[in-house]
Amino acid sequence: MTEPRKLQVGIRNVNFGDQVTIVEPVNLYGCDIGEGCFIGPFVEIQKSVRIGRRTKVQSHAFICELVTIGADCFIGHGVMFVNDLFQDGGPAGGDVSKWKSTTIGNHVSIGSNATILPVNICDHVVIGAGSVVTKNISEPGVYVGNPARKLR
- 3 assigned to some structural domain: no
Whole-angstrom distance, CA of residue 134 vs CA of residue 147? 6
Catalytically active residues are 77
Q: Report which secondary-structure segment, H or E, holds 136.
A: none
Q: What percent of the chain has pLDDT over 90?
A: 84
* pTM: predicted TM-score of the whole model, two decimal places: 0.93
Q: What is the pLDDT of residues 108-118, one digit of tens each?
A: 999 999 999 99
Neighbour-count burial of 70, counting CB atoms closer than 10 A to its CB (0-12 exposed, 13-18 middle, 19+ buried): buried
* Residue-level pLDDT at 136: 98
CATH of the domain at 133: 2.160.10.10
43 or 152, higher pLDDT: 43
Q: What is the pLDDT of residues 23-69, one digit of tens each?
A: 999 999 999 999 999 999 999 999 999 999 999 999 999 999 999 99
Q: Give the dihedral sign, CA 34/71/42/116.
A: negative
Domain range for 41: 11-86+96-150
Spatial neighbors of 99 by CB under 8 A, at least 6 apart, are 65, 66, 83, 84, 92, 118
- 5 assigned to some structural domain: no
Q: What is the mean pLDDT of the chain?
A: 95
* Residue-level pLDDT at 9: 78
